A = this chain, B = another copy of it.
Amino acid sequence: MRQPHYQKLYSDLKKQVISGIYKHGDLLPSENQLCEQYGITRLTVRNALNMLVHEGYISKQHGKGSLVSLKRNALPLLTFKGFSDTLGKTDIPVQTKELASPKKQRWEKDFFFPLSEKEKKQDCIFFQRLRFAGKDPIMLEYTYVPGASAAGLTQKPLVEQSLFTTLRQRFGIDITGVEQELRAILPDAKTARLLKIKTNAPVIHIYRRYHTYKPQFFVYSSLFCLTDQYALSNSFNQTLSK
């Protein structure tokens, strides 16, 4: 399973931006230079650059070049990249604590996304995890993985504590997108206790359905996010024109 050229270039550039080799405001090498360096055509280079534009790492200026854009002090958690993927390489010290071992169980009644008949027939693997930035809990995460395709998730610990990395490496399942809904709520007693806040401190509640390369195979999450210390952030860019 060979990596496409644009993927290689994309991850190379992303690493260089994250690690600070290219800093905010710097110009990346021009498209033609990248063509030569990698021995590929401009379309392929542009595919890689477009991915970076969409994720907000760079912006382009016609006639000038590709400018590196820096993120601010907030958690870029509204994309479909997982917690570890997004924050693992930043300077924010993150930790994950399992509140209980992942276990197989029936789906909850009135599940927050409508389930297909096929999903309902099987059990799901249930994860309960608490995420920390520094010493403070910042996110409570419940995740549901339909059982059949991912049996064995309960056997061995996760690769690098990351569910998405584990799915990719051990099951060949890639996350390709997400739908999500956000609401401001007051936490119930249990949630407040876990996040170490009072029940009158508002949190953002997020329901997510992750899409994968396997059609009709979804992963579901319910998240409670504290936003006092770190806001949730994201950025979009689009190549539009008239």
Interface residues of A (CB under 8 A from B): 1, 3-4, 7, 43, 51, 54, 56, 59, 61, 72, 74, 78-80, 174, 176-186, 200, 202-204, 207, 211, 215, 225, 227-228, 231-242
- B238 near A182: Cβ-Cβ < 8 Å: no
Report the copy number of this chain in the oligomer: 2
14 additional A-B pairs beyond A176-B240, A179-B234, A186-B200, beta carbons within 8 Å, are: A7-B241, A54-B238, A56-B179, A59-B211, A80-B236, A174-B242, A177-B237, A178-B235, A181-B231, A181-B233, A183-B227, A184-B185, A184-B202, A184-B225
Which of B72, B181, B238, B241 contacts A74 (CB under 8 A)? Answer: B181
**Bound complex: CA A178 to CA B177 (Å):** 19
- B233 near A182: Cβ-Cβ < 8 Å: yes
Q: Give min CB distance, A67 to chain B, whole Å.
A: 9
Q: Give min CB distance, A154 to chain B, whole Å.
A: 25
**Bound complex: CA A54 to CA B51 (Å):** 10
> Inside 8 A of A231's CB, which chain B residues have their CB?
181-183, 207
- B61 near A215: Cβ-Cβ < 8 Å: yes
- A202 near B185: Cβ-Cβ < 8 Å: yes
